[in-house]
Amino acid sequence: MGPVGFGSFAFTGGGTFINLVAATTNALNGALLARRPDHYKNFTVVGILLMALLGGIGGGVSRDVLVGRVRAALTNSSHIALCLLAGFVGYHLAYDKGQLFREGLFQFVTSFALPWYAIVGAQTGVDVGLPVLGSLALAVVGPTAGRFLIDISCGVPPKQFLRGEWFVAIAALTGAVWIALDQAGLPRTASAPLAFLAGFTIRLTALYRTWEEPLAAEPVGVYRHDDCRPLLGRKIAGRSTRELRLLGLTVEPHEEPGAGAPSGRPAQNDSHDQS
């Protein structure tokens, strides 16, 4: 059976399907991230869609530029079309009633996209004849460069450099598993799902168990900032309004002009907000 597609749109053949899965899920991730309160900067609808494109094809473009290839997103229209569609979906899924960011959905999509892009990066390195370490580097660049571009565009520190749930390490591990299986002689139809299962499982376990990269030793006198790290849905239950706001999961309430504390009563201190 030949490749599936029409015109400039291709959906299967030569690793195209895995590339599209990775790009589409990362684009959904990008739109969700751009709508998160700690990233949102009064973006337009077009801005959200551009963030989805950054997330969807940014890592792949960075990876292919490193190996001197024309990015498939420019020759196969399916990439851009599916990324824009995922961005539109993510725009509408980001919040529900009460403006609580759907962090569980965001983390699940991240966990799904990360291993796929790592596998594609490792495959690209092997295909162009890079050594193992070079292929591992592409396995890290592919799934993380898009997030780097979004964070920079939103004016927040890139996730790669902050304490978190083994973001870069999971990409490297997934790439290493795929390379090991490929060198063992497994066909790619078997090695890719197995490597994905390993990376996806460990990523979700790290989130559930709150496994994190160790912090570097701090120089004397450096102020330790609050983590302000997002948590999965089950871990935000019972949090106060202030705690949710510090975690970047709620939007500041809008006060009506002239509204304030009732006459004769001081405004309530936010530090005493209760859930």
Tokens of 213: 């990269």
State residue 116's pLDDT score: 87
**What number is the average pLDDT over the span 1-17?**
73
State residue 256's pLDDT score: 47
Cβ-based neighbour number of residue 235 at 10 Å: 15
- For the ranges 95-99, 190-194, 210-214, the one whose mean pLDDT is highest: 190-194
pLDDT of 226 higher than 80? no
State residue 175's pLDDT score: 96
- Of 3-17, 35-49, 93-107, minimum mean pLDDT range: 93-107
State residue 150's pLDDT score: 92
How far is 61 from 74, CA to CA, in rounded Å?
A: 9
**Shortest CA distance to 89 belongs to which of 104, 76, 77, 106?**
106
Measured in degrees and rounded to the nearest 5, phi and psi for residue 5 equal 165, 180
More confidently predicted of 37 and 94:
37
pLDDT of 125 higher than 70? yes
Long-range contacts, 249-256 (Cβ 8 Å, 24+): 249/36, 249/37, 249/100, 249/101, 249/103, 250/37, 250/98, 250/99, 250/100, 250/101, 251/37, 251/99
Share of the chain above pLDDT 70, in %: 73
State residue 223's pLDDT score: 54
State residue 224's pLDDT score: 54
pLDDT of 80 higher than 50? yes
How far is 47 from 52, CA to CA, in rounded Å?
A: 9
Q: pLDDT for 230-268, tens place per residue?
A: 455 555 666 677 766 666 666 665 554 454 444 444 444
State residue 145's pLDDT score: 92
Given a contact cutoff of 8 angstroms between Cβ atoms, the answer to whether 27 and 90 are in contact is: yes
More confidently predicted of 225 and 43:
43
How far is 46 from 84, CA to CA, in rounded Å?
A: 10
Output the CA torsion sign for 152, 51, 19, 229: positive
Q: pLDDT for 147-188, tens place per residue?
A: 899 999 998 889 888 877 788 999 999 999 999 999 999 998
How far is 144 from 22, CA to CA, in rounded Å?
A: 12
State residue 268's pLDDT score: 44
- Of 20-24, 56-60, 149-153, 189-193, minimum mean pLDDT range: 20-24
State residue 252's pLDDT score: 60
